[in-house]
Amino acid sequence: MVVPLAAVIFDVDGVLVQSMERNAEAYRRTFEPLGVRIEPQEVFANEGRGSRVLIAKLARDHGMALSAAQLDEMTRRHHELLASLGPMPLYPGVDALLRSLHRRGLRLAIVPGNWRAIALAPVGDAAPASHPIAGQGWTPALPAVAALAELVIDAKRLGLDPGSATVLAGKRFGIPLYGTMAHSYVQAHEREGDAFLDFARAHPDNSTLLIDTYDTEAGARKVVELVPRLRSEGIDVNAVRLDSGDLAAHARKVRAILDAGGCSAIRIFVSGGLDEFDLERMASAPIDGFGVGTALVTSSDAPGLDCAYKLQEYAGIARRKRSEGKATWPGRKQVFRSPQGDLLALAEERHPGTPLLAPAMRAGRRLARPQTLAALRARALAGYEQLPPALRSLRKAEPGYRVEVSDALRALAAEVDRRGT
């Protein structure tokens, strides 16, 4: 039985480079007998592709046409060369973690059918005690597990597989890039199947095919027909995308067609003006991923944000506004968060809980360096997980979140009121 891995944090600095260089050397030796020199940059530029897919691409880039048998043989040789180069380097701290898990009868495993999914599984004969990592169909001690784990686990806490179609997001922040084809791309071809073939060959490591341009179920059957042909070229279809109609109903029919055609590893991705309520409604459908765009970057339910500057202290003296329905609390304040809720207090007070407010700027200068996207994501997730379950629902929570005001702050407000205008 495979159970979800709750939390694993890996430090990948430096060691990833070692793994990439080792991998590049194996590819160089794989092509060397054919008189082809593979430069490390060619491998680095395609990091993340499966070995069979990358060998096929490198061969095409160098003007070689490989048969399916030749591709199988070169993939086998590549794996042998990798093994001959010695153990794959493990990331700092991972070895101790793995041995600790192994002593408890557990190992890291890749979930069958989804190589990005990390799980804990019982140790079996396939997981040697010296290196208690094993995946389905992968060699032991595969560092890709460590490289993927932090992203995958963070995302799975929210039920997501992180990624973006925005190339700049990948360049600046290291967010995994995913993309798919447009309906216009399919329409520009005389036949839908030709569009699928051209797109898969152009994107052999990220072939998500849009199948609803004409008839969703018919498109799924065409994918099943084309899969053997693409596999002979070293290309695997990762997913199909649905963008119209009753997405949940189509997903069930498409899943049945794919499974019956021996394509159970192909995932189903849906899109089309989705929001959080659509995702909740389709939770039971056989859908592996959701494309959320407009609803994620806009606020259609509350398009206006009413903000205003209020003076709470001037010349060292507490001030407050007492306008009807808009009264404020005076003085410099702090918010203390605990499992019981938030407490609004004066800055100099001390209360149980975590203080939330910290100075960001002073005299026009930032007081700290900007945090990384990963750190901000971790902070947001930690805060989210501290909320009571009722407040994590899409529905309005009753009772709402508890916020109280300290006695000292109430006393200061009363003092300011007595002082008058």
Entry pTM: 0.52
CATH architecture for segment(s) 183-297: Alpha-Beta Barrel (3.20)
Instruction: Pick the range with the lowest mean pLDDT from 97-101, 196-200, 204-208.
Output: 97-101
Average pLDDT of span 214-224: 97
**Which CATH class for the 3-157 domain?**
mainly alpha
The helix or strand, by DSSP H or E, that contains position 193, with its residue range, turns out to be: helix 192-202
Q: How much is the mean pLDDT over the chain?
A: 77
More confident residue, 383 or 88: 383
pLDDT tens for each residue of 291-345: 887 787 778 778 888 888 899 999 999 999 999 889 999 999 999 998 889 999 9
The DSSP output letter for 4 is E
- For 362, the 3-state DSSP assignment is strand
Work out the angle at residue 232's Cα, subtended by the Cα atoms of residues 71 and 188, and round it to the nearest 5 degrees: 130
**How confident is the model at residue 3, as a pLDDT?**
29
Is residue 111 within 8 A of residue 117, CB to CB? The reply is: yes
For the cut 50, the answer to whether the pLDDT of residue 12 exceeds it is no
**How confident is the model at residue 376, as a pLDDT?**
82
Exposed/middle/buried for residue 286 (C-beta within 10 Å: 0-12, 13-18, 19+): middle
**Which CATH class for the 313-419 domain?**
alpha beta
Is residue 78 within 8 A of residue 30, CB to CB? The reply is: yes
**DSSP code string of 266-317:** -EEEE-SS--HHHHHHTTTSS--EE---HHHH--TTS----------EETTE
**How confident is the model at residue 224, as a pLDDT?**
97
Domain ranges of the chain: 3-157, 183-297, 313-419
Please name the residues in contact with 60: beta carbons below 8 A apart, sequence gap of 6 or more: none
